[in-house]
Structure 1
Amino acid sequence: MLTATPHPFSVFPMSFSVVEVPSKEHAHFESCKKIRLEVFVEEQGVDADSELDDIDDHAQHFLITWKADSGENEIPVATMRMFSYDVPEQSGNLVLKMGRIAVVKSFRKHGLGRKLLEVAEHYAVSRSAEQQKPGVFLYLHSQSDKHGFYTRFGYSVVRSAAQLDELRDGKLIKEPDELELKSLEFVEDGILHVRMAKYIPCPFDQRKC
């Protein structure tokens, strides 16, 4: 039985809770793994050996669980992982890569994708404060047909992680048209993706971040 650890952004309607899973060795990682295998391997045909990789060893994972009002056991319904992403061109900036964002099919109408993005941004801000950075870049490889979802929440298509400074400086001010978007697509695990990112400034006084 899962036990959701109290979290500053873990209380959702309909008895949803967030569990922090700090490593692959954590007991709840098996639930994250199960969701990923169901969504990416069984539904989308991704190779299982590609889906589960060495990054899992050091990534920060998050799990959303659901518990019915009847008091039944908590059910794992969504997951995501985040980790520091080294980009030579961004050596002075904090870049966190989001990935393995998955929601089980029967729970895709409850806004859990949006909730995972909220979790990611809260985590990013806390990391920015810990490292005394003025802000943080959230970076991800979005499946092409999902890019509109991320756009709605302030994420922009970028050519590469090396371009992130332009995002922070406001130079990426328009979404690419359909032709431009096609030119930026690349294949990952047999699925078309585009690179996307969002800059989040530290909300605190920079001297205290």
Structure 2
Amino acid sequence: MSVRAAGEAELATCLDIRMKVFVEEQGVPVEEERDAYDDAALHVIGEVDGVPMGTARVVFLEETAKIGRVCVMKEARGTGLGREMMQFLLEQIVTRPEISRAYLTSQMDAVPFYEQLGFEAFGGIVMDAGIEHREMELLLE
């Protein structure tokens, strides 16, 4: 298992994984899956046995690192790949002294996963692409 920053030419691989997980599996409307953050984001690819099986991204917005589009293909869930990708992103985030907070919105069933990484839920339930989410943050020192 390995995680690395995706090069510009690998964005298509990240988008393909997201299309399979979010659009095909979860029914997210295709027009809502891509957004303006894709061009500015740091994307990561998680691989299992050399095969891309997960992706995530982070966008740096003033003092906040906005993590999003975290997904792992069904056949690689439970392997620890999601945790590895998140740890990789957090390692990238803490290298930026201006960033004091990591923020994300989590699908409800993934809230415990992010809590294990130190994130705390706040606010109420928000809808994103027709799916219930919770806002979560990790304050950095």
Q: What is the TM-score of this pair, normalised by structure 1?
A: 0.64
Mapped partners of 1:109, 1:189: distance in 2: 25
The equivalent residue for 2:119 is: 155
Q: Which runs of 5 or more structure 1 residues have no equivalent in the other structure?
A: 1-15, 68-73, 87-93, 160-183, 202-209
Which of residues 111, 115, 119 in structure 1 aligns to 2:80? 111
Partner of 2:54: 78
For 1:104, give the aligned amino acid: M
**What SS does the corresponding residue of 1:27 show, helix, strand or coil?**
helix
Instruction: Find the aligned partners of 1:136 and 1:55 in 2 and give their Cα distance.
Output: 20
Identity over aligned pairs, percent: 33
SS in 1 for 2:27: coil
- Aligned AA for 1:49? E
User: Are the equivalent residues in 2 in contact too, given 1:155–1:196 (CA < 8 A)?
Assistant: yes
Q: What RMSD, in angstroms, separates the aligned Cα atoms of the two structures?
A: 1.4
Equivalent position to 2:90, from 105, 121, 124: 121
Moved over 6 A (4+): none
Match of 1:166 in 2: none
Whose Rg is larger? Answer: 1
More strand by share: 2
One of 49, 68, 86 as aligned partner of 1:99: 68
1:51 & 1:136 partners in 2: Cα distance?
A: 27
**Could you tell me whether the CA contact under 8 Å between 1:79 and 1:100 is conserved in 2?**
yes
Q: CA deviation at 1:200?
A: 2.0
Higher relative contact order (CA 8 A, sep 6+): 2
Aligned residues: 141
Gaps of 5+ in 2: none
Structure 2 match to 1:199: 139
Q: Does 1:19 align with 2:4?
A: yes
Query: TM-score, normalising length from structure 2?
Result: 0.93
SS of the counterpart of 1:127? coil
